[in-house]
Amino acid sequence: QTHPRMPHVRTHAPPPSSDRPSSSSRSSGEHPSASAALAVCRRRVLSGVHLVLSGGLLHGVDSPQRCAYWRLAEAFGATCHLSWDADTPLTHVVSARADTASVKRALRTHGVHAVDPSWLSHSAERWCRQSEKAYSLKRRGAHVPHGD
């Protein structure tokens, strides 16, 4: 059965007693709380996403953790990075503008998506990672010179 407010989250009957964790495997002797279960589901939404914020999204914050987009990304399972260097396994550049160096680099790099911030907020609102294609900054006219 599907939960009406979270269409992708299915509810199931509890597993047979032989499949349930034993009380010795649970610290409190009780089933995990609903809030803990929801936190696990929430973190799965953007699990495996490694991103940098660009285009002024971090402007005016004294700490990146104070940025709403940074906190939202981490709450839904993404790993945020301050910069994109050779050792950063980046998958996404989230930017308010298409003309940043990070966006242009992402558009030249196989496997790295350059997306509008609404990709992040819609993924969180819907508890489901949205298609990057619909939020791509490539269609917003970022000029990507070939051969760089």
Read off the CATH number of the domain in which 39 is found. Answer: 3.40.50.10190
pTM of the complete model: 0.72
More confident residue, 114 or 12: 114
In the predicted model, what is the mean pLDDT of residues 129-140?
A: 91
Task: Give residue 140's pLDDT.
Answer: 66
Confidence of residue 61 (pLDDT cuts 50, 70, 90): confident
Looking only at the bridges linking them, the beta strands covering 79-81 and 50-54 are: parallel
Is it the case that residue 1 has pLDDT exceeding 70? no
Q: Residues 86-134: pLDDT tens digits? A: 898 999 999 999 999 999 999 999 999 999 999 999 999 999 999 999 9
User: Residue 16: pLDDT band by 50, 70, 90 thresholds?
Assistant: very low
Number of domains within the chain: 1
* pLDDT of 27: 52
DSSP string, 32-89: PPHHHHHHHHHHHTTTT-EEEEETTTTTT-SSGGGSHHHHHHHHTT-EEES---TT--
Q: Which long-range contacts (CB under 8 A, 24 or more apart) does 95-99 make?
A: 95/53, 95/54, 95/55, 95/57, 95/137, 96/54, 96/55, 96/56, 96/57, 97/54, 97/55, 97/56, 98/55, 98/137, 98/140, 98/141, 98/142, 99/142, 99/143
- Residue 35: pLDDT band with limits 50, 70, 90: very high
pLDDT of residue 6: 45
Which residue segment(s) compose the domain that 105 sits in?
1-148
